[in-house]
Amino acid sequence: MEYDSAYFAGGCFWCITPVFKETEGVLDVVSGYSGGDEVSPDYDDVKKQKTGHRETIRIDYVNKTVDFSNLLDIFIESVDPFDDGGQFIDRGHSYTLAIYYTDGKQKEIAEKKIAELEKTYGKDVYISVEPFKSFYPAEEEHQNYYLKHPEEFERELIESGRKKGE
């Protein structure tokens, strides 16, 4: 089966995985690290801002079912695009927003959506649009965290401010 990949850094990778996993046409979502130059970074070093990498997800998808533009809309709805210092309680470069484009079409779509957001809201959007360099899958314990640790995941969503407590 032919598929494409999209790479989004949206703060905590645990927190943005489920919405994409549940999207029709998405084959897989892998948590990992991207954007830095260090080879084979690990979670602790990325979290401590030692690598230049951001927590990133790779979304493998069937373009005929869901396209890059649709995925980008979901991404933007899942983050705070106006926060320049990270996402919610997760602060620092490794939690800032980025779209790593793999071709000119992805770059064009991303830049257009960001320009539209800025025009609509009249303020700066802090989503970096960068060429894809590399992606390093995170350690197994970080893959599908929401399924492995549903109670801890729910608590993380609430404590981070991504989800309001009941």
Q: Cα-Cα-Cα-Cα dihedral of 40, 42, 47, 52, to 10°?
A: -10
Pick the catalytic residue from 12, 16, 66, 109: 12
Tell me the mean pLDDT in the region 106-129.
97
pLDDT at site 28? 96
pLDDT at site 147? 81
- Whether the pLDDT of residue 166 is over 50: the answer is no
> pLDDT-based confidence at 164, cuts 50/70/90?
low
Could you report the per-residue pLDDT of 9-43, keeping only the tens digit for each?
998 888 889 999 999 999 999 999 999 999 999 99
Average pLDDT of the chain to the nearest whole number: 92
12 included as an active-site residue: yes
- Whether the pLDDT of residue 165 is over 80: the answer is no
SS (H, E, C) 113-154: HHHHHHHHHCCCCCEEEEECCCEEECCHHHCCHHHHCHHHHH
CA distance 135 to 156: 25
**Closest Cα to residue 129, out of 157, 151, 98?**
98
